[in-house]
């Protein structure tokens, strides 16, 4: 059995997860990464996506996060999410509203940098939606 480490998922409103886990898949800004115990210290921003938490018992839990960043140390991993919900509790209407907002942002963007950033965010959101709908 793989070594366990401490994983914490925190949103501004509350602490969602704080437990010993085997591995966590994080949607990093520069690609997904799987974190296991003894991982090298990394600090990364995360994009909207799904975090998969594999607990020591082998049970898997999935959470949807909307941006934030992760602080990874050999002894543990802390994920600070802007907002996070369990995959079963996801509100479709809320997701649709976020996509709508992102679309408006992209349309309102003043310069190219802001527009490309907004469009990138929008595509991340739509990918996320696509991944969730069949689930």
Task: Give me the residues that bind another protein (CB under 8 A), please.
Answer: 8, 10-15, 28-30, 40-45, 69, 71, 73, 78, 80, 82-83
Of the pair 13, 135, the CB lying nearest another protein is at 13
CA distance 82 to 62: 16
Of the pair 13, 89, the CB lying nearest another protein is at 13
Q: How far is the CB of 60 from another protein (least distance, A)?
A: 24
Q: How far is the CB of 126 from another protein (least distance, A)?
A: 21
The pairing of beta strand 5-10 with beta strand 76-81: parallel
Task: Give me the long-range contacts of 87-91 (CB less than 8 A, separation at least 24).
Answer: 87/50, 87/61, 87/62, 87/63, 87/132, 87/135, 90/64, 90/132
Tokens of 26: 């994080």
Q: How far is the CB of 104 from another protein (least distance, A)?
A: 14
Of the pair 14, 93, the CB lying nearest another protein is at 14
């Amino acid at each position: 059995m793989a070594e366990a480490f401490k994983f914490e998922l925190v949103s501004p409103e509350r602490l969602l997860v704080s437990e010993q886990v085997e591995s966590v898949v994080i949607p990093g800004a520069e690609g997904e990464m799987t974190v296991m115990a003894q991982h090298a210290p990394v600090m990364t921003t995360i994009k909207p996506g799904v975090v998969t938490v594999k607990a020591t018992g082998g049970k898997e839990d999935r959470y949807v996060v909307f941006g934030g960043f992760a602080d990874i140390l050999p002894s543990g991993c802390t994920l600070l999410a802007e907002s996070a919900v369990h995959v079963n509790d996801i509100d479709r209407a809320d997701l649709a509203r976020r996509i709508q907002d992102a679309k408006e942002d992209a349309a309102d963007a003043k310069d190219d940098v802001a527009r490309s950033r907004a469009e990138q965010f929008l595509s991340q959101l739509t990918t996320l939606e696509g991944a969730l709908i069949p689930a």
